Amino acid sequence: MRDFHGNADVVFGDSMLGNLAYLKKHNLYDVDLVMGINGTDARAGAITKDITWPILRHYNKKTGFGGELYQGQNDGTVAVCKEMGPTSLGKTKDGINLLYQYIEDRGSTIQCNIKQEWKDCTKEQSKFVEQFKDKTKDELEGQVNRLTGMLKSIKGEALGWVQQRMSIVKQLLRKDELLKEAAESKAEADAASAAQAKAQASADSAAAEEADHKAKKLAAAAATEGASAEAKAQAEDAAAASAKKDEL
């Protein structure tokens, strides 16, 4: 999911799961857990024999506030962490990362993005970008109409590729607008970074100045203490000399 950092189309959240028996014992189960939203079971884990197993839920305009549970590709026989992990189980027959596919599909997004200069595209996506990046507006709109028709008839894994092409074509139609947004976002980020660096430099300077002030203050105190000690020693020497003189 780190690869989707900065993607404005999706956000991620997680819930801390615990032993159900413990929650019941301490009367936390019915009090602190959100069990449902708008009539939809919205528990954060699948419960089996007092153990709460991790699950995945997604929320979008289609699901509403209740969200929808990820059902899995293996009839629930494989744990989500394994099915969506970086193992062979975490890939489709075509080698597509299941987690990527899930996020892009449910989040109506794509990592192959013009704002990122198409750097996160697959080979197939990059080939499609090259094929259509110089097309006219009419040609791109014609492709949108064609893909829209395909979305109504195609199902399964092939649907994902249609959705990806649709996203790319729509980005190309908004090329100038999106590139302007990307430039503005970069300028804002650079300005924020510069302001943060300036604030840090100012804080470092203030800290250095304070440290220098403390050092000078300590040095002055030490000098005063040394002078006092020297004066005391001179007084003691004078008193001793005076006492010796009286003895004589």
* Residue ranges covered by each domain of the chain: 1-109, 116-173
Q: What is the mean pLDDT of residues 71-100?
A: 69
- Per-residue pLDDT for 94 more than 60? no
Assess contact for 109 and 7: CB atoms under 8 A: yes
Rounded to the nearest integer, the mean pLDDT of the chain is 77
Contacts of 41 (CB under 8 A, 6+ apart): 35, 69
Give pLDDT tens digits for 18-77.
555 666 666 655 555 566 777 777 766 665 545 456 778 888 888 888 888 887 766 666
pLDDT of 157: 66
Return d(Cα 202, Cα 196) in angstroms, integer. 10
| Residue 119: per-residue pLDDT | 83
Between 177 and 215, name the one with better pLDDT: 177
pLDDT, position 121: 86
C-alpha radius of gyration, the chain, whole number? 34
CB 151 within 8 A of CB 173: no
Contacts of 222 (CB under 8 A, 6+ apart): none
Residue 22 in tokens: 């413990």
- Chain centroid to CA 201: how far? 26
Structure confidence at residue 102 (pLDDT): 84
| Separation between Cα atoms, residue 88 and residue 211, nearest integer Å | 57
At residue 76, the pLDDT reads: 60
- Give 181-239 pLDDT, tens digit per residue: 878 878 888 898 899 999 999 988 888 888 888 878 877 777 777 767 766 676 666 66
**Buried/exposed 66-93: b ≥16 CB within 10 Å, e otherwise:** ebbbbebbeeeebbbeebbeeeeebbee
Q: Bigger pLDDT: 79 or 198?
A: 198
Q: Is 22 helix (H, G, I), strand (E, B) or coil?
A: helix
Gap between the Cα atoms of 93 and 115, Å rounded: 30
Say what the pLDDT of residue 46 is.
62
